[in-house]
Structure 1
Amino acid sequence: MKALIIGFGSIGKKHFLALNELGFLVDIVSKSYKFSIYEGKNFTLFKDLNEVNLKEYDLFIIANITTDHFKTLEILDKNIKEKTILVEKPLFEKDINFFPSKNNKIYIAYLLRFNPLIKDLKNLIDINEIYFAKFVCNSYLPNWRKIDYRQNYSAKKELGGGVMLDLSHEIDLAFYFFKDLNLEFGQNLKISELEINSDDFTFLALNSKKAKIHIELDYFSKLNQRKILFHSKEKTIETDLIHNKLNIYDKFNNIKSKTYESNTFKTLQNMYKAILKDDENLCTLEEARKILKLCDEARNG
């Protein structure tokens, strides 16, 4: 199969390596591409999407700036048929009315759905028994990438940056497990010392039919953690996505633990294998728009 990656920032590079190892022929569209370790790979570089014969490709990955996603998706969906389009998360910077041609398969890259811990967690729990869940991602933006964090799109509200969209994996997982969610209370703020104009803190209090759900995200924590906690009458399940560990606690202080081998690269490959199978766990356009609607609601108070 032949794939085209549009945008070649840090996540575009990860997509490239994952696809390359899976045996895809991969080409790139990037205005800012520079010579690097990828020079040894066999690919064609295009400076603009207009230069590309779109019919040559089976799979398209939209990995450019968030505010360019809508325009890029619209161009692709109008000009190709019977292809697969993967949009890097978030789908757009806000909920926008996009009317697909229905000629193509469109998915959004919420890849944590294909992390082995999440897959086990999905199989372990009866969601109807959960009365409280907490999704936490605390991180420190200056440590994310090698470049000056102030120059990255994450720091810039006008480019679709901000912690709520950047770390919307947690919001997606809340929908993935609980399906229908309502916002009870939301905070989306800039509160830290970071020199950015985007939001660096989000707290969401949600409810489903039977459970209360809290989501906490930030860019400023020097304590790096990414966890999911599920509480039921009989047990508490803790999923640690940084240390790749799943713990089950019962009422008698007994603990069952399982450790996994997992990283972003492997999880990306799991997602691509799912795309080849049209896996039902892939995030759809409709599901991604639910996330954006919830973010818009929280942002507007």
Structure 2
Amino acid sequence: MNILFVGIGSIAKKHIAALKHLGVEATLYALRSSRQSEPYPGVVDIYSYDELSQFHLDFIIISNPTSEHAATIRRLMHFQVPLFIEKPLFADCKHDDIVAYIKQHRILTYVACDMRFLDALRFVHDYVDARYDQLKINEVNVYCGSYLPAWRPGIDYRTCYSAIPELGGGVHIDLIHDIDYVYWIFGQPSNSYAIWRNVSSLGIRAYDYANYNLEYPTFCVNIVLNYYRCDAKRTMEIIFDDCTWTLDMLKNQVTDHKGKVVFQSEQQGSETYVAQMAYFLSLLKKKQTMSFNSSEEAYQV
């Protein structure tokens, strides 16, 4: 198997670790922007799109900055090779032609929202999906807050793409997991409203706060995202008629309003990367042309 990486930063290294964990025998290539780029062990560097015609690539992992995704996919889609695209798909919604081309040519794409493979989140998804017509949901509240300076120890957070709007930084894009799983569980809302602000003392230009309200026929979802919460919290609260469930992503568990544990998993966060890679490889093996988070669906999100 031959796999190309476009972008070989911290996220790409998680995907490499997942491939190794799964025992995948592959030659790994990386498309580098400079011959002075630091090599990564076990990865063959190439320096031009023109070189790609020399290789039979089984799939391509796009894990460069979000701001570069559109241009990268535009260059690669004509090879008609399956694309594993790190979230989010794009930095903006101005690329209808790319999505249309991929759909027309039936190119397999998967946008890597690994939280869809978190056990507790999958439990809630499956529960709601099986009973959607019978459940009475009154309200859903989603919260994701963490401290950007603690994300990458030893690195000035103000120099990372998360803090720089031109690179696709900002909570409204960077923390798209929480919008994505709401879409995955409850479907596309009928209306949406958003507030994006820069309100903290982090000293960055990217948005550090976002608040969304999504309208569904019988309930609303409120989503709050931020970069400045020192005590990390990532939860979803679903208020049913007869009880309230709280899904704690950091604990990988679901509890009810009485504190009873409804679901608990010992799965570690890094295991979601292994699970999603196994899922994508299964699509390749079956020669599928559609994933459960294709470029078309991710573009809607």
Please state which band the TM-score falls in when normalised by the shorter chain.
Answer: 0.7 to 0.9
| Closer, same or farther: CA 271–199 of 1 in aligned 2, 3 Å | same
Paired residue type of 1:124:
Y
Compute the displacement of 1:149 (Å).
Answer: 0.3
Corresponding residue to 1:116 among 94, 115, 119: 119
Compute the displacement of 1:23 (Å).
Answer: 2.7
Compute the displacement of 1:55 (Å).
Answer: 4.3
In structure 2, how many angstroms separate the alpha carbons of the residues matched to 1:54 and 1:209? 52
| Closer, same or farther: CA 10–63 of 1 in aligned 2, 3 Å | same
Are residues 1:262 and 2:267 paired?
yes
C-alpha contact (below 8 Å) 2:141/2:236 kept by paired residues: yes
TM-score (norm. length: structure 2): 0.87
SS in 2 for 1:270: helix
Q: Deviations over 1:52-84 (max 9, x none)?
A: 34642211110001111011111111123xx32
Unmatched segments (≥5 aa) in structure 2? none
Paired residue type of 1:136:
Y
Corresponding residue to 1:166 among 169, 174, 192: 174
In structure 2, how many angstroms separate the alpha carbons of the residues matched to 1:224 and 1:7? 28
Compute the displacement of 1:259 (Å).
Answer: 2.6
Compute the displacement of 1:274 (Å).
Answer: 1.6
In structure 2, how many angstroms separate the alpha carbons of the residues matched to 1:6 and 1:263? 27
Alignment correspondent of 1:59: 59
Alignment correspondent of 1:177: 185
Alignment correspondent of 1:144: 151
In structure 2, how many angstroms separate the alpha carbons of the residues matched to 1:78 and 1:90? 21
Paired residue type of 1:207:
E
In structure 1, how many angstroms separate the alpha carbons of the residues matched to 2:177 and 2:64? 18
Alignment correspondent of 1:297: none
Alignment correspondent of 2:68: 68
Cα root mean square deviation, aligned: 2.0
SS in 1 for 2:254: strand
How much identity, in percent, do the aligned residues show?
28
In structure 2, how many angstroms separate the alpha carbons of the residues matched to 1:9 and 1:264? 19
Alignment correspondent of 1:30: 32
C-alpha contact (below 8 Å) 2:140/2:220 kept by paired residues: yes
Q: Deviations over 1:183-223 (max 9, x none)?
A: 45321011111121110000001111222101000001112
| Closer, same or farther: CA 2–23 of 1 in aligned 2, 3 Å | farther
Between 183-192 and 144-153, the greater mean CA deviation after superposition = 183-192
Are residues 1:285 and 2:287 paired?
no
The count of residues paired between Structure 1 and Structure 2 equals 282
C-alpha contact (below 8 Å) 2:171/2:207 kept by paired residues: yes
Compute the displacement of 1:14 (Å).
Answer: 0.8
C-alpha contact (below 8 Å) 2:190/2:217 kept by paired residues: no
Unmatched segments (≥5 aa) in structure 1? 292-301
TM-score (norm. length: structure 1): 0.87
In structure 2, how many angstroms separate the alpha carbons of the residues matched to 1:20 and 1:121? 30
C-alpha contact (below 8 Å) 2:191/2:216 kept by paired residues: no
Alignment correspondent of 1:189: 197
Compute the displacement of 1:93 (Å).
Answer: 0.5
Equivalent residue runs for 1:205-220 within 5 Å: 205-220=213-228
Q: Deviations over 1:215-241 (max 9, x none)?
A: 000001112011111111122111111
Compute the displacement of 1:2 (Å).
Answer: 2.6
Alignment correspondent of 1:298: none
SS in 2 for 1:34: coil
Paired residue type of 1:138:
G
SS in 1 for 2:169: coil
Corresponding residue to 2:280 among 250, 255, 275: 275
SS in 1 for 2:224: strand
SS in 2 for 1:23: coil
Between 277-286 and 186-195, the greater mean CA deviation after superposition = 277-286
C-alpha contact (below 8 Å) 1:8/1:28 kept by paired residues: yes
| Closer, same or farther: CA 16–50 of 1 in aligned 2, 3 Å | farther
